[in-house]
Structure 1
Amino acid sequence: CLNREVFRNGKEAQVIVEAFRQEYNNYRPHSSLGYQTPAEFARRYYEENQITEVKQPVEKAGSLSF
C-alpha cells in the first residue's frame, strides 16, 4: 500500500508507484471483477464482445495510473 511509503526523491516515487500499478493491474485479483485482475478482465471482455479495435493497450484500459 502506497500510504506507508516515504519517498526520498521523485524518481524513487515514480519507480515505486509504477511497481504498485503493475502489481495492482496485472497480478492482484479484484473481488469486484470476479477475482480476476483488471488486465485479465479487460482482455476477456474484448474477446467475449469481439472488439477488434482497441484504442489503448489492455494493460492501461480501466487501470489505475498516475
Structure 2
Amino acid sequence: MERLLSESMATNMLLEITTWKNGFFITRVGFVTKIDTLNKRIQIQDELKSTIHLDFFSLTNVMVK
C-alpha cells in the first residue's frame, strides 16, 4: 500500500482507496496529493476535485484504478 501511495503522488496515478470507518468500508477513487507522515494522514483529490484527508490507520486496501 505504501508503495502505491508514493507512486501515485509522483506520477498522478489514479487509485481506489478503501477505508474502514464506524463499521463500514468506504471506497474512494482519486490521486494522492500529499503524504503527511508526521500526522499519519494522506490527502487525496477525487474525480470531482474535492480534497479528502484519510488516516493511515483507517486504510484497508489500495489498488490501481
State the TM-score bracket (shorter-chain normalisation). under 0.3
Between 1 and 2, higher relative CO (CA 8 Å, sep ≥ 6) is seen in: 2
Structure number with the higher strand fraction is 2
Could you state the TM-score of these two structures normalised by the residue count of structure 1?
A: 0.27
